[in-house]
C-alpha cells in the first residue's frame, strides 16, 4: 500500500480535476482505478455510483453497489439509499421506497435523512399519496426546521385542505427567513388564496355534511371555480374530478375538468367538442364565466 501511495495520490488529484470539469467518463475510470488500490474507500465507491447514476448506467451501478457491499464492513447506510435511487430510475417505485426507508432505519446522518425523506415525499406527490407526503414533510421539519422545509410542509397541508395549519407553516417560514427564494415564491400565492378562504371554508363545511351525495358535485364545482380564481389549479382539478365521479353526466363538471387539464384556449375548445355534443359557443361561454378574474 505504501508503494501505491504516490500513484493513489496522483489518481485522486486527477479525479478531482475530472469532477470539476464534469467529465463523467474520466471520473468513472479514475474511481475504478482508485478502488483497485483502495477497495475499502467508501467515498470513492459512492462517487463511482453517483457518476453511473448520472449517466444512467444502471446495470453497472447495481454491480458497483454489490461490490461495494462486499468490500466494506459494516455496510454503509448510504448503500441502501443509492439502491433506492437506482430502483427509482428503473421505475421500481415500491423498491425505491423500501430501500430509502431501510437507509433511514440504518441511521443515516441527519442531513442525509432529510434528503432521503425529501425523495420519499416527492415520490408520494407523483403518486398522489397526499397524507403520506405530509408525514414525510413533517419528519423533514423535525430533523431540520428551515424556511424552505416549512414551505414544503405548508404546500402538503394545502393539498389536504388543512388551511390553518398551512398558514402557520408559511408564516413561520417567513419569520425564519423572508429572503429565502422558496418563501418569496410561495408567500404571495398563499396571500392570494387567503382572500378566498372564507368562501372555501364555507363550502368545505357544506360538502363535509354529505361528501358522497351527488348534490355535492355542484358544491365541488363551485369550490373548483374559486380555487381557479385563487390560482390553485391542482386543487381545482381535484374538485372537478370529484364532481365528475359524483355526476358523470354533468356538463359543468366536464368543462371544469377540461379547463384544468388543457394548456390553452384552442386545445380546450377542441377537447370540449370531442367529449360532448354541446356547441362550442356554449362551452366557451361557460369557460369565460368560470375563469373570469375578479
Which is higher by pLDDT, 39 or 263?
39
Q: Which three cell numbers stand for residue 221?
A: 364545482
- Alpha-carbon dihedral angle through residues 275, 278, 280, 282, given to the nearest 10 degrees: -130
Is the pLDDT assigned to residue 288 strictly greater than 80?
Answer: no
d(C-alpha 92, C-alpha 62), whole Å: 14
Q: Which three cell numbers stand for residue 130?
A: 397526499
Mean pLDDT of all residues in the chain? 86
Domains of the chain, each with CATH number or no CATH: 1-60 (no CATH), 198-290 (1.25.40.10)
Angle between helical axes of 163-176 and 181-194 (0-180°, round to 10): 140
Angle between helical axes of 24-37 and 5-20 (0-180°, round to 10): 160
Task: Report the predicted TM-score, pTM, of the whole model to 2 decimal places.
Answer: 0.78
The per-residue pLDDT for 250 is 63
- pLDDT tens per residue, range 92-138: 999 999 999 999 998 888 999 999 999 999 999 989 999 999 999 99
Which is higher by pLDDT, 248 or 159?
159
d(C-alpha 254, C-alpha 247), whole Å: 10
Residue 47 makes CB contacts below 8 A (sequence gap 6+) with 15, 19, 27, 31
Residue 288 makes CB contacts below 8 A (sequence gap 6+) with none
Closest CA to 62 of 79, 75, 77, 76: 79
For residue 129, the 8-state DSSP code is -
Is the pLDDT assigned to residue 262 strictly greater than 60?
Answer: no
Amino acid at each position: 500500500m505504501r508503494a501505491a501511495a504516490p500513484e493513489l495520490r496522483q489518481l485522486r488529484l486527477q479525479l478531482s480535476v475530472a469532477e470539476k470539469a464534469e467529465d463523467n467518463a474520466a471520473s468513472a475510470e479514475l474511481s475504478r482505478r482508485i478502488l483497485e488500490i483502495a477497495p475499502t474507500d467508501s467515498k470513492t465507491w459512492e462517487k463511482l455510483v453517483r457518476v453511473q447514476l448520472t449517466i444512467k448506467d444502471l446495470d453497472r451501478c447495481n454491480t458497483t453497489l454489490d461490490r461495494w457491499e462486499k468490500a466494506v464492513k459494516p455496510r454503509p447506510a448510504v448503500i441502501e439509499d443509492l439502491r433506492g435511487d437506482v430502483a427509482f430510475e428503473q421505475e421500481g417505485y415500491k423498491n425505491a421506497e423500501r430501500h430509502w426507508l431501510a437507509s433511514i432505519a440504518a441511521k443515516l446522518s441527519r442531513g442525509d435523512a432529510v434528503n432521503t425523506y425529501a425523495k420519499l415525499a416527492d415520490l408520494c406527490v407523483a403518486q398522489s399519496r397526499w397524507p403520506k407526503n405530509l408525514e414525510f414533510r413533517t419528519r423533514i421539519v423535525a430533523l431540520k426546521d428551515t424556511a424552505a422545509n416549512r414551505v414544503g410542509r405548508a404546500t402538503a397541508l394545502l393539498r389536504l385542505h388543512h388551511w390553518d395549519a398551512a398558514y402557520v407553516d408559511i408564516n413561520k417560514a417567513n419569520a425564519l427567513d423572508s429572503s429565502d427564494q422558496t418563501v418569496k415564491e410561495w408567500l404571495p400565492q398563499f396571500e392570494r388564496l387567503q382572500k378566498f378562504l372564507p368562501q372555501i371554508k364555507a363550502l368545505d363545511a357544506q360538502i363535509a355534511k354529505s361528501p358522497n351525495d351527488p348534490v355535492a358535485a355542484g358544491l365541488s364545482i363551485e369550490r373548483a371555480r374559486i380555487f381557479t380564481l385563487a390560482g390553485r389549479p391542482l386543487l381545482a382539478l381535484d374538485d372537478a374530478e370529484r364532481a365528475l365521479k359524483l355526476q358523470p353526466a354533468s356538463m359543468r363538471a366536464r368543462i371544469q375538468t377540461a379547463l384544468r387539464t388543457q394548456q390553452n384556449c384552442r386545445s380546450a375548445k377542441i377537447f370540449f367538442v370531442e367529449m360532448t355534443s354541446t356547441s362550442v359557443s356554449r362551452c366557451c361561454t361557460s369557460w369565460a364565466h368560470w375563469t373570469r378574474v375578479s
